[in-house]
Structure formats: C-alpha cells, structure tokens
A and B are shown apart, each in its own frame.
Chain A
Amino acid sequence: MQSVNKLSRRLGALAVAFMAVAASGGAMAVSPRAAENKVVLIARQDPGTLDYVTSGLTALRLWIPANVVEPLVYFNKDGSVEPGVAESWTISDDKLTYEFKIRQTTFSDGTPVTAEDVIYSLNTMKTSPVGAYASAYNAVTAIEKVDDSTVKVTLSRPSQAFWAGMGSVAGLIQPEAAAASIATNPIGTGPYVLKSYTTNSTFEFEANPTYWGEQPSITSATVRIVTDGTAGLNALEAGEVDAVPVITIDLWEQLTNRELDKKFTLLTYPQIGEPTYAVLNQKLDPELRQALAMTLDRQSYNDAFGAAWGAENTCTFALPNQAWYAPETAESCPYPYNYEEATAKAAAYASTPLEYASLSDVPDLSLPADIMIPAMQGAGFNVTRNAIDLARYSQLIFQGRPPQFDITIMSGDADPAQFACPTPEAAGWSTYCSQPYTDALAAADSAPSDEEYLAKMQEAADILRKDAVIVPLIAKKGVGLFDADLKGFIEPRVLVAIEISKLHW
C-alpha cells in the first residue's frame, strides 16, 4: 500500500509539473500580433491542392487569388476598374479587341513578367477543365503578343463574361516556368508570397518584397485550417487567432448564442455568399415541381440557421449585390409557400416515388434537408431520403448521366451561366435545360451596354424562377468575425478571395 501511495504521489507531482511546463508562457495578451503587424486567420476547409487552373474549390479561391496571384485587372465594389498585372488596357468600340499593357514588374520568384507569361496564363485558363473559368473565353478567337509588354485578345462577339473573367480567377497571371509547382507553390505578382502550405494545417504568407504596389501593412499572415467550426470559434475567443473571415451558416446560431457577435466585429458581405436552392429534376412533371416548390417555407430555413442578419429569403438565383436580385415577394415568387395548395396537389402524386439526394457531410445542406423532407412528406409527397457523401454525390449527381435524384439541395456560386444549356443532351448536373433561358444569357453576355445586360439578366432570372427546376430558398451573405482592432477588410473583388493586404491593425 505504501508503494502504491508513493507511486500515486509521484504521478501527481509529475502531472502538476507537466501542467506547469505546459502552461508556461501560455497567458496571451489581447492582440499579441498587432505590434508585429501579423495576423492569424482561420479557414474551415483544406483545398488539398493550390492548382487553381484545375480546381474550382472555394477553399483555394479564398486565399491564393489577389494575395499571391493577381488577375489582369481588379473590379471594385463601386464598379470602377483598377490595374492589376495589366498596367493599362484599351477596349475597342465594338468590344471585340482588348489590348493589355503588361506591368514592368517581377513575379515573386524574381523572374520578370513577360507578354509570353500572360499569353501562357490566358491560354491555360482558356483550356481549364473548370467550366466556370474556361467559359470566360467562349468568345475569344485569338490571344497574341503585340510587343514585349502588350497582349491583344480578339473576340468573335462582345462578351461581358470575358471582361469580368479578366478580374477573376480566369484572368490570373502566373509564370510559365513555375507552372509545374502550382499545386503546392503558386507564384504570382501579388502582395504576398506563399512561404508554406501544409495540408490540413496552415498557409503561411509573407509580404512580397518585390510587390509592385504599396507594401501591405500586415507583413506576415498565418491561415490555420480548422475544420471543426466550434474549435475555430474557440480559438478566436481564446485570442489565438484574429479573425474568422468566412463563417459557414452552420455556426451562425452558435456564434450568436456565445455572443461572439458582440465581442468581435461582425461583418456581412454579399459578394462571398451563396444562394441555397432546391433542385427539382426537370424530368418531373412541371405541375409536380410547382407543387413541391409550394412546400418550401423560406422563413423556416432562415430561422433554422438562427441569424437573420446573414441570409435573405429569395426566389431569385442571385446574391443581393447582383442587379437582377429580388428578395422574396409575391411578384418575385411564382410559386410562393402555400402548404394547403401543395397538400391538395400532392394527392395526385402520392404514388410517385421521389428520391431526395442529401449531402450528408455538408452541414449547410443537410440542415435544410432536415426541414424540407418532412415538409414534403407531411404534404403527402412520397419522398425518401438518400444521404450520401460528397464523393458519391459527385459521382451520382454531378457526373451521373442522368443524374440520380428527383430532389436535392445545393448551394454555390451565384453565377447564372452555370445553368446555360445549348441542347438538352448538354444539360448539366442540375438537369435544367431551357432554350429561352440560354438565349437570354447569351444575349446578356453579348450586350453592348450595361442597361441591355441588366434587362437580359432579369429576363433570364424570370425564366429560371418560373421553370421551377432551380428553386432558390435563401441568399446567404458572407459572414466574418474580426478582432475589433483589425481593420480594413474589403468585400472580395477576385471572386471570393480575402485580401489580406487590405487589413491593418
């Protein structure tokens, strides 16, 4: 017994010593990184690769564009255009010829930016397997060198998508010589150099000493990849990190309950958000689709996420910053929530089996499914849930031909062009194919003026709504929590990219 007691005492002493060593230096002052002009940010997802040419993952697009690799131009929130890798540009009156004057600068690896690099970059994105990037070049017929610092792009027709793409991922410029290492070490002209990327752990950025613009205030940034949302909020509350710039919807209720919105600066911004929408397979009878659409009580989805400041109810596939967006109103919703009418119509379809494909590993989507399926079943529709992970979902739905679902829910880029469909055989994963919609989008892309562009986009949005295949529920805004002393955040300009260089203490 004596030896056992002795052992217990020794273990106790060891444990205390262990804790003492561990706790040494542990107490953190408020914003300890401010004096050093450093920041630590949190990302929820690991992209796995940094090759933006072949990957359309948001987890990558948040950090590499604008920070490390820059586009030719930047589109500001107020509609103005700023130089990027292109120092200046000219657009012909017929909007068929674009000439970009390339900035005399170097990439972060020290090599000069050349016209050849720009041509290589544009051609690479033109043939990107990511459809959203390559589609910016649909109207492009030639990319040529004019002289050592000028590149000319010729179009077969005016294209809004091309010009928008030059300020987005489709317009990112990289050195041809470093293309082989793009998956782990992308090189560009941006304000930061990626010092290291450890998958599932961190991105480390340092100010690029050869950056052509003003040196950023933040000289060093660490982005910690914390997949567990609660752990991310814990780290913020403990003062270990300075901001969580993108907080997914599954954490909104928690952050409110923990009153983090009062302890930190809460920012919402529409550019980085996503529409959440039900997809009703186009093969279903149109009246069935319309009846199903009437079971969708948008407010219940908004309530489920517990933060009205982060999402708006809408029947329009768009974000509030897009000019053709409309919040939920009687006019903008052709099939508004009407449970009685839906129940009455369901009687005719009680024997029609409907498979609801639910993404089990994406909380943003499994939570709405928890509401949607019982609502449809309650109305009398014969709905069964098929819960599958992202990889299987990719196989069965994104790549399945025909996609294997009757009903599903998705959220993603608010780019309406993703539902364009030249022929029914070319319908994408959503099954949606409409000639009038595709024509309206094409007309909008070729529109010579902003007014005509907007009119055509509104027309397209109206067609999409009435067809009840893509049925928007809510428009989620981007939501971020920042240390109260960390200022300067700007709404994303290059797709969803968080511009670290704009932050300052």
Chain B
Amino acid sequence: MAIYVLRKLAFFLGAVFVASVAIFLLIRAAGGNVAAILLGKDATAEAINALSHTYGLDRPLPVQYYDWLVKMAQGDLGQSFRTKEMVSELVTERLGVSIPLALSGLLLGILIAIPVGTYAARNVGKLSGAVLALISQIGIAVPVFWAGILLSVLFGVRLGWLPTGGWTDWSQSWVGAIRSLVLPVLSLGLIMAAVLIRYVRSAVLDVMNQDYVRTARAVGMTRTQALLNVGLRNASLPIVTIIGLQVAELIGGTVIIEMVFSLPGLSRMILANVAAREVIVVQSTVMLIIVFVIAVNFLVDLLYGILDPRIRNAT
C-alpha cells in the first residue's frame, strides 16, 4: 500500500508541475495584454509599454514563470495588476460562493443519483425503470445554462419565490445567501444527477448479476439486503471514479451557472480575468483549482486501494 501511495503521490506532483507550465503558457499564447485592454483603443504604444513594464510583463518568460512558481510555493498567489488586491483575498472572498455551490450541487446530484439509479437498475425492463432512464437521458441532453434560465424564469420571474440571480453575502444574511444558491444548486445538481444516474444504474446492474450477489441471495438475504450489503460496495468503485471525474465537470458547470445567476464566484472571476488578461490572477487561481482536482483524483485513487484489495495488493 505504501508503494501504491508513493507512486500516486509522484504522479500527483508531476501532474501539478505540468499543469503549472501549461497554464502559464496557455494564458500567454492566447495573446493580448492587460495594459492594452485597460488603456483602451486609443492608447499609444509608449503608454502600453510603460504600463506593461510597471506590471513586469516585459520580463523574459522564464523569469516570470520562476518568480510566480517560487511565490506560489511560499503561499503568495500574487496580486491583481489593476486593483492591487491580493489574489489570495480575491479567491477567499469567492470561495464563500463557489464551495457551497459546487459541493451542494455535487451532493444533490449524488443524493438523487444513487437511489434513483439503483431503483432504475432494479426495475430494468419495467416501465418505471424505462421512464427513469429516459428522464436521465433528457437530463444529460439539457445544457446546464438552459436549465438555469428555465428555473430562473419559473421560480424567479413567474412565481417570485426565489431570486432570479445575484448574491447576498453570508455576512449580510445567511437566509439570503441560501436563497441565492437554491436555483444555481438545483440547476447544477439536477444535471449532474442525470449523468450520475446512468453510471449508478449501469454499475448496479453489473453487480446484480455477479456470483457473490447470487450467493448472498442463496444464504437467505433479500434482493435489497444483498444489494446493500454486498452489491453496493462493489458497485461503488466505478461510481467513485465517475464522481471524481465529475468534480472537474462541476467546475466547468459552475462557470456557466455563475454567469446565468450572476454569482460572484471563482469561475466567473477567472472568466472575467481571462478576458482582461490578468495573467497572475488567472494562473494562480486556475492552478489552485487544478491542484484541487488532481488532489481529488489522487484521493479517489487512494480510495480504490481501500475499496478494492486487489488494487492495493497488485501494486
């Protein structure tokens, strides 16, 4: 198990390094310059060069990369060129929106998908199972932004039950903050559930035909008991894998949801700063997310070892 963990850790660190180089180069390869955008279309080349120099953007790329990496390693994420705000503060502010949004969306998706997917698997070949499979297919086909707009129009504009968008900070009113998050979480969670239901259904179907489930039934367990006591643990491996992968998908989903519902979250901040070519804000924030996603997948890998002794013993 120790070797397994070390191998995974080495892969984790390697992936983080490659990601850091990629994000550093990609944002620059996109072209554009924060100084040019800031100064507008009539700015002179001299003015732009002077501002670029002030920002340190005229330094050689390796120097900029090294400087950024060293500071990141020391916990200094840098500061915005335009507002001089520390990136760490910007990120912290927005995590208050993004973490509850992403985690609640994921949790909602899981809470819907596991029972519904299991139910659909147990009723395969029946009308109820087919209906659930169809609903799941429709859910997968629905773009998350469309779901968001529909929910916003229905619950916000037509019924007036919930805000159509915007954000009330936790410090102002926690009820207001929850109200701001309900529709975005529903949009995200329902679409995520639609995807997960298919995987849960397929995984449960797979284990239900396995010998150990039949053996469990033979020793007197009911179908449900066999499924819960023996089947689900084995079905959990592909489900955990897909949930791990969905974390990355989730971040993509929050970009759109934060736009549709005007939430001041991390994804919207990144998008705005990409457009403004705020390279330090973008690369530091994206790097944090990449580390998070890779860490989640690292933990998923570790979880494999715990869930399946064959994996840890094989390594």
Contact = CB atoms under 8 A, between A and B. Distances in A.
A418 B40 CA distance: 12
Given A183-B83, A234-B156, A392 B261 contact: no
B166 A4 contact: no
Nearest to B258: A200
A26 B161 contact: yes
Interface in A47-69: 48-51, 54-57
Interface of B: 30-33, 36-45, 47-48, 50-51, 82-85, 90, 93, 111-112, 115, 118-119, 122, 149, 152-153, 156-157, 160-167, 175, 178-179, 182, 223-224, 228, 259-262, 264, 268-269, 272-273, 275-278
Given A235-B165, A394-B33, A399-B36, A199 B44 contact: no
A2 B115 CA distance: 12
For the complex of A and B, list the 6 residue pairs with the smallest distance between their C-beta atoms, beginning with the closest. Answer: A391-B32, A201-B264, A56-B40, A129-B47, A49-B82, A131-B42
Contacts of A26: 160-163, 179
B228 A22 contact: no
A249 to B, nearest CB: 19
Nearest to A56: B40
B43 to A, nearest CB: 6
A14 to B, nearest CB: 8
Contacts of A396: 31
Interface stretch (A150-158, A236-244, A324-332): A236-244
B85 A184 contact: yes
Interface of A: 1-4, 7-8, 11, 18-19, 21-28, 46, 48-51, 54-57, 129-132, 183-184, 198-202, 224-228, 230-231, 234-235, 237-240, 361, 389-392, 394-396, 398-399, 401, 410, 412, 418, 428-429
Nearest to B41: A398
Nearest to A239: B160
B26 to A, nearest CB: 13
19 contacts: A4-B224, A11-B112, A11-B115, A23-B161, A26-B179, A54-B51, A56-B40, A198-B264, A226-B262, A230-B149, A231-B149, A234-B165, A391-B33, A395-B33, A395-B36, A398-B40, A399-B43, A399-B45, A429-B41
Instruction: Indicate the member of A50, A398, A428 with the most B CB atoms within 10 Å.
Output: A398
A361 B268 CA distance: 15
B259 A412 contact: no
Given A227-B268, A234-B164, A401-B45, 9 more contacts: A22-B162, A26-B163, A48-B273, A129-B44, A131-B47, A198-B264, A200-B268, A391-B36, A391-B275
Contacts of A25: 175, 179
A194 to B, nearest CB: 13
A428 B30 CA distance: 23
Given A8-B115, A235-B166, A56 B42 contact: yes
A225 B167 CA distance: 10
Given A199-B83, A230-B149, A4 B119 contact: yes
A50 B160 CA distance: 34
B262 A231 contact: yes
A19 B30 CA distance: 43
Contacts of A1: 122, 223-224
Given A25-B175, A184-B85, A389-B275, A130 B261 contact: no
Nearest to A237: B157
Contact of B228 (A3, A28, A228): A3
B40 A55 contact: yes
B272 A199 contact: yes
Contacts of A132: 40, 42
Nearest to A392: B31
Given A1-B122, A22-B178, A129 B43 contact: yes
B42 A390 contact: no
B77 to A, nearest CB: 16
B125 to A, nearest CB: 16
A246 to B, nearest CB: 16
Contacts of A184: 83-85
A129 B223 CA distance: 75
B52 to A, nearest CB: 11
Contacts of B165: 226, 228, 231, 234-235, 240
A233 B96 CA distance: 26
Given A183-B82, A226-B165, A234 B157 contact: yes
Contacts of A129: 39, 43-44, 47-48, 50-51
A19 B178 CA distance: 11
B224 A130 contact: no
A46 B273 CA distance: 10
A224 B166 contact: yes
B38 A238 contact: no
Contacts of A200: 264, 268-269, 272
B160 A238 contact: yes
Nearest to B30: A391
A171 B277 CA distance: 29
A230 B148 CA distance: 12
B156 A131 contact: no
Contacts of A389: 30, 32, 275
B166 A228 contact: no
A57 B34 CA distance: 13
Contacts of A54: 38-39, 51
Given A8-B115, A224-B166, A2 B224 contact: yes
A390 B41 CA distance: 11
Nearest to A234: B164
Contact of A18 (B115, B166, B182): B182
Nearest to B272: A200
B96 to A, nearest CB: 11
A166 B163 CA distance: 42
Contacts of B156: 234-235, 238, 240
Contacts of B33: 391, 394-395, 399
Nearest to A24: B175
B264 A183 contact: no
A428 B42 contact: yes
A306 B79 CA distance: 43
A231 B164 contact: yes
A263 to B, nearest CB: 12
Contacts of B166: 224, 226, 235, 240
Contacts of B149: 230-231
Nearest to B164: A234
Contact of B82 (A51, A225, A227): A51
A132 B162 CA distance: 44
A410 B41 CA distance: 11
Nearest to B256: A228
A349 B55 CA distance: 45
Contacts of B152: 231, 234
Contacts of B179: 22, 25-26
